[in-house]
Amino acid sequence: MKLDTSPIAAIATAPGRGGIGVVRASGKSLAPLMTALFPDVTLAPRRATYLPFRSADGSIIDQGIALYFRGPHSYTGEDVLELQGHGGPVVLQMLLTRVLEAGVESGLRLAEPGEFTRRAYLNDKLDLAQAEAVADLIDASTEAAARSATQSLSGAFSKTVNKLVEQTIGLRMLVEATLDFPEEEIDFLEKSDARGQLAVIVDSLEAVFQQASQGALLREGLNVVLVGQPNVGKSSLLNALAGADVAIVTPIAGTTRDKVSETIQIEGIPLNIIDTAGIRLIDDQVDVVERIGIERTWGEVAKADVIMHLLDAAHGPARADDDIIKAFPDGIPVIRIWNKIDLSGHKPSVAEAADATHVYLSAHEHIGIDLLRAELLRIAGWQQTGESLFLARERHLIALRSARKHLQMAEAHAAQTDQSLDLFAEELRLAQAQLSSITGEFSSDDLLGVIFSRFCIGK
């Protein structure tokens, strides 16, 4: 990727009103910009200077703090200037306009989404997994997700992946050295314990994969469709599930959905509850506009990880229940929840049946809620290991899976009697390439474009 070093600027704080707001600029040298903005002051690096921010005509826009970080000792690795003023949308826009104007001579332009972090990556301040963690930390919707993102941002995930890469390189060097001396190829794998070394790498990769896929759950959560007739207890159930930490968290970033009614969390895993208030079957009575809405809801249903079908244990299913549940797509697990057992006299329990898992509980009396929570966590694939988790992205999981596949192929080659060392070496090379892609050692411009364009401007 060509490194565009023209200076950039943007408002770095969230839109809206706040105590302070920050306009940030970055560039190879910001000296001309600072001279234009503050002709009478020389900003010392890393020192907060309180001063007026002035328009070109000398009138004061705001009073605030200027902070200058001299490259490479900055977030982006370039010169960075932060102007901290008052956090109002208009005053910040005026300040940004002034900065852009003052930087015209030096080619200053508005930053693209994620461009500050992209520069940090290109200047080796962060690797790719860490850069992604910046966005994930900002977008984290639960405390557990935020903690895992911080883990990745601190480099723990990258370090673990890099260790795997190093182990793979070590083994490759051993194998490739032997390839140059064909007479030694025979018995090489036995003598060098290459297979033993490979087994160690495979085991470590498996452990990383577990931590990453569990972490991915914290990021993605579980898409849950909740259906049931009016008054069956849907709201009561959501409240009961959310429990003590009545944590109605924000929708998961990056997924644009028209119809998120609520997100609650169980053990830090976001449950995205899909609103099915308008769900019904399409029949002759449905007009065109309504049809679009219904189709969209069914589209959401098709993407669900689990359907919670709530019924009244005291009254039994209504006719509409049968119709709706018949229409649900195959392959999505169904939990049939019999609510209000305090009225029906059922015991709290879980029973597996061919069509669904049946759970008996009382939302209102908080009886049997733990059974449902456990069932949801089981479906999510959550295993509480107590280990720290990496807030992995799908991209990371794909790379880890692919690396695992290549290592398994290498194992298969090694297990054959007429071992093919060059095929063994080739699989190791492919596994290494996959692992390296996580931290971005060999990443295409396209991939970088996709990753950074999802940031907001100013990050």
Q: Which is nearer to ligand GDP, 201 or 273 (CB)?
A: 273
Q: Are 57 and 86 in contact (CB under 8 A)?
A: no
Q: Which is nearer to ligand GDP, 153 or 237 (CB)?
A: 237
Shortest distance in whole angstroms from residue 14 CB to ligand GDP: 34
Q: Which is nearer to ligand GDP, 127 or 321 (CB)?
A: 321
Sheet with 49-54, strands from edge to edge, namely 49-54, 60-69, 79-87, 18-27, 8-11, 109-110
Sign of CA dihedral 137, 142, 145, 147: positive
Shortest distance in whole angstroms from residue 357 CB to ligand GDP: 19
Site residues, ligand GDP (CB under 6 A): 228, 230-236, 339-340, 342-343, 362-365
Shortest distance in whole angstroms from residue 346 CB to ligand GDP: 11
Shortest distance in whole angstroms from residue 258 CB to ligand GDP: 21
Of the candidates 211, 218, 216, 220, which has an alpha carbon nearest to the alpha carbon of residue 163? 211
Take residue 453 and report the two structure tokens written for it.
């364009």
- Give the start-end residues of each E strand in 143-299: 222-228, 260-266, 269-274
Q: Are 108 and 99 in contact (CB under 8 A)?
A: yes
- Give the start-end residues of each E strand in 182-286: 222-228, 260-266, 269-274
Shortest distance in whole angstroms from residue 304 CB to ligand GDP: 18
Shortest distance in whole angstroms from residue 234 CB to ligand GDP: 3
Q: Which is nearer to ligand GDP, 235 or 250 (CB)?
A: 235
Take residue 184 and report the two structure tokens written for it.
């030694």
Dist CA 29 CA 68 (whole Å): 11
- Cross-strand bridge partners of residue 87: 18
Neighbours of 86 (CB within 10 A): 16
Q: Which is nearer to ligand GDP, 61 or 337 (CB)?
A: 337
Shortest distance in whole angstroms from residue 302 CB to ligand GDP: 23
